[in-house]
Amino acid sequence: MAAPPVTTLRELEAVAYQLSSRRIDDLDALRKWLAVLVAPGASLGGARPKANFTEADGSLWIGKFPAQDDDRDVGAWEYAVHQLAQKAGIDVPPARLIKLNNDFHTFCVQRFDRVNGARRLYASAMTLLRKTQSEGTSYLELAQFIRAQGDAEHADADLKQLFRRVAFNVAVGNRDDHLRNHGFVLGKIGWRLAPAFDVNPNIDKAEHVLNIDDIDNRPSLETVLNTAAFYGLDDERGQQIADEIVAAVEHWQDTARRMRISNADIDLTTGAFSAHMT
């Protein structure tokens, strides 16, 4: 079935909401839309109810809808962090935030595994590293993969981008950084680091899923800096990147308020953004 047009997003959100609550009142509507709803755990990762849709220019996007049991505006937070990521020099796809039927927002992001309507080969880090679980794996293994199987023309740039992402994930509290939330697209002569996706502040995780170095998964920019050489960076350049990340994230509360996130929710999320400073 073809991806639904933008005008169906409200209907898709309503079905996604019913699916997440396990209550389906209209089986005909379910049959109509179930085929286009992307199930949690799909190839691009994530656990939100979501669906593909096509923009007027033909580009393929994903709408990530509020879930029935949400008690905070997850979509608004993801968009806020997306804005911070752009400021921090993180490669992220185009995105926007919309409000449909729900009190909470729907986060929409362009799919990076499609180029001019053609499929671009994508694989998760879980697949390419031949892992069955993320625990015990290090970001350094992603760097090693780039060195071994990355597109040689872009390997240095991808290593620097990966280092920047590790520092950013620490700074914004993106602790759910498992291997399915990292991926690669096939380049001309090897794999390229895919744009960052599913980056959110996690208020219920004290440690990262992936280790920052070989053994430590605690959120610490100092630990990130100590790994700079693994990404082909000297200490000075590593510190410069870390400083750029801190500067980009410093006023995260203002960004959250622009997304209409409540002060109470901002207070609740402060720990995710400040843990690396303790």
pLDDT, position 23: 56
Q: Considering only CA atoms, which of 67, 45, 51 is closest in space to residue 5?
A: 51
pLDDT, position 65: 86
User: Where among 114, 144, 166 does a domain terminate?
Assistant: 114
Residues 163 and 93 in one domain: no
User: Where among 74, 93, 114 does a domain terminate?
Assistant: 114
Q: Name the residue range of residue 31's domain.
A: 6-114
Spatial neighbors of 276 by CB under 8 A, at least 6 apart, are 170, 171, 219, 220, 221
Residue 195: half-sphere exposure toward Cβ, Cα within 13 Å = 18
Q: Considering only CA atoms, which of 78, 94, 90 is closest in space to residue 248?
A: 90
Residues 220 and 153 in one domain: yes
- What type of residue is 108? C
User: Where among 89, 114, 139 does a domain terminate?
Assistant: 114
Spatial neighbors of 51 by CB under 8 A, at least 6 apart, are 3, 4, 9, 12, 16, 33, 36, 37, 38, 62, 63, 65
> At 155, which CATH number?
1.10.1070
Distances, alpha carbon 253 to alpha carbons 45, 77, 106, 167, 261, in Å: 27, 11, 20, 19, 9
d(C-alpha 104, C-alpha 261), whole Å: 10
Residues 109 and 128 in one domain: no
Residues 137 and 220 in one domain: yes
- What type of residue is 237? R
Distances, alpha carbon 232 to alpha carbons 86, 117, 144, 216, in Å: 23, 35, 11, 20
Residues 133 and 259 in one domain: yes
Do residues 199 and 172 lie in contact, with contact meaning Cβ atoms separated by under 8 Å? yes
Point out which residues pair with 104 in neighbouring strands. none
3-state secondary structure of 2: coil
> At 46, which CATH number?
3.30.200.120
- Residue 1 belongs to some domain of the structure: no
Residues 110 and 133 in one domain: no
What is the number of structural domains in the chain?
2
Series of mean pLDDT values for 10-residue runs along the chain (278 residues): 47 62 56 50 53 82 85 95 98 93 89 86 97 94 98 97 99 97 95 97 95 96 98 98 98 97 96 78
